A = this chain, B = another copy of it.
Amino acid sequence: MDQLEIFKALSNKTRLQILQWLKEPEKHFPVQEHASFDEVGVCVGQIQQKAGLTQSTVSEYLSILQKSGLLESTRLGQWTYYRRNEEAFAALSNIIKSEI
């Protein structure tokens, strides 16, 4: 759990938004055909459309969030799905309460 890496990942408006969207996918994204929000999350294309940035940028942002541990990814067929790693958020909350 690299604190600095996590805070850098959180230091971007779009990335913060993505995290919030992924908290309640059914509220923020249209129904997905090939996979369930609960099990694997939301695919890159949906997130990209909603963010309104290019595919490459959003792909990179998701990768940054994943490397920090805040997101997890699942590849299913030609899609990559991202979902929140709630344990990481809980751990971060505790680190701020007790360590930082």
Which residues does A use to contact B, with CB under 8 Å? Answer: 3-4, 7-8, 10-13, 16, 19-20, 89-90, 92-94, 96-97, 99-100
The contact of A96 among B3, B93, B99, by CB within 8 Å, is B93
The binding surface of chain A is classed by DSSP as helix
What's the nearest-Cβ distance from chain B to residue A20, in Å? 7
A100→B96 CA distance, assembly (Å): 14
A84→B25 CA distance, assembly (Å): 37
**A96: chain B residues within 8 A (beta carbon):** 89, 92-93, 96
Which of A7, A19, A90 has the largest number of chain B CB atoms within 10 A? A7
Contact A100 B4 (CB under 8 A): no
Question: Which residue on B lies nearest to A19, using beta carbons?
Answer: B100
A47→B81 CA distance, assembly (Å): 45
A3→B7 CA distance, assembly (Å): 11
**A12: chain B residues within 8 A (beta carbon):** 4
